[in-house]
Amino acid sequence: MKKTLYDVLGLPQDADEAALRAAGERLLAEFAPERATPDTAEDFATRRVAVKEAIYTLCDANRRASYDGSLRPSITPDEALAAFAPEAGEVSGGFRFAQVGRLAWVLLALIVVLPAGWWFRLGSVVGHPEDVAARQRAEVERIEREQSEGPPRSPEEEARYQQEREAREQEWRARREREAAERAERTRQQELDRARSEADRVSSDLEYSMQRAEQEERARSEQLRREAERTAAEDRRERARLAEESKRRLERDKAYLERLERENARRMNLE
């Protein structure tokens, strides 16, 4: 058999609203999150949801009437036919007074009771949507407020709650301090990395400048060497040219002197 909302609260269907609300608050306090263990946390959460749903539905007159109407067993076709079946020992055929009475009750249930229940249920949901929505919001807010406030605590529970709260606050402060220290360490590490990167960049620029200066110095030395070689080659060519000219001049002068001597000798022979 399906478990009803009355079974969730542990009360009969004719219980009044005060008893239903008291039972719901007692169950909410019993299944409070702070009382749950890691193994029962999920079960406690499920039970709290069921209790809240029961309080929300049964503590409102319209919703409770609609829910109670849904709990009434509907008459099946087999049950309707069974109402017309003759009882044991009766002779079949013809309508008797008992059968007519059963037929009247069946017709009353089919024509009056069920449509009236459905009409009442439809009117509770559709007839006044704004009022229903307002009541639903108010009930949800009340349940959430009660859940946030929690049930009243004893002095021992209050002291334990304060100790746990202080422990959580200390843990929270310690965690914040650790996070702040980690952020400061990350910032310092980032600054060190940035300074190291800047130093590497400066060193790289300096090394590049030194390499470029060395290359320029080698290029200048090579250029001077080539100019010196070119100048030396030009000097050698110039000396060779001058030596060749001096040699030709000497040969020309020697030939001229020999020619003069031959002419003088020939003139003397003629005389």
* pLDDT tens by residue, 89-139: 444 444 444 455 666 666 766 676 555 555 545 444 444 445 555 666 666
In a domain, residue 52? The reply is: yes
Number of domains in the chain: 1
Distances (CA, A) of 118 to 57, 81, 121, 147: 17, 23, 5, 34
> Longest C-alpha distance within the chain, in Å?
207
Which range of residues forms the domain containing residue 35?
5-86+97-152
* Alpha-helical segments (H) within the chain: 5-9, 17-30, 41-58, 61-71, 77-84, 97-108, 114-122, 129-149, 155-270
Q: What pLDDT, on a 0 to 100 scale, did the predictor assign at position 164?
A: 84
In a domain, residue 107? The reply is: yes
In a domain, residue 144? The reply is: yes
Give the end-to-end CA distance of the chain in Å, rounded to a whole number.
Answer: 178
Please name the residue that has the structure tokens 């002095």: 155
The answer to whether the CB of 10 falls within 8 A of the CB of 23 is: yes
CATH number, domain at 31?
Answer: 1.10.287.110
In a domain, residue 207? The reply is: no
In a domain, residue 129? The reply is: yes
In a domain, residue 234? The reply is: no
Structure pTM?
0.32
Measured in whole angstroms, how far is the alpha carbon of residue 268 from the centre of its chain? 133
In a domain, residue 112? The reply is: yes
Distance (Å, whole) CA 66 – CA 72: 10
Is 249 exposed, middle or buried, given 0-12, 13-18 or 19+ CB atoms closer than 10 A? exposed
Q: What pLDDT, on a 0 to 100 scale, did the predictor assign at position 78?
A: 59
Distance (Å, whole) CA 30 – CA 24: 10
Residue ranges in the chain whose pLDDT is less than 50: 80, 83-84, 87-98, 120, 122-129, 149, 151
Q: What pLDDT, on a 0 to 100 scale, did the predictor assign at position 35?
A: 86
Q: At what angle do helices 129-149 and 17-30 cross, to 10 degrees?
A: 40
| Among the listed residues 18, 45, 21, the one whose alpha carbon sits nearest the alpha carbon of residue 31 | 45
In a domain, residue 105? The reply is: yes
Distance (Å, whole) CA 76 – CA 84: 13
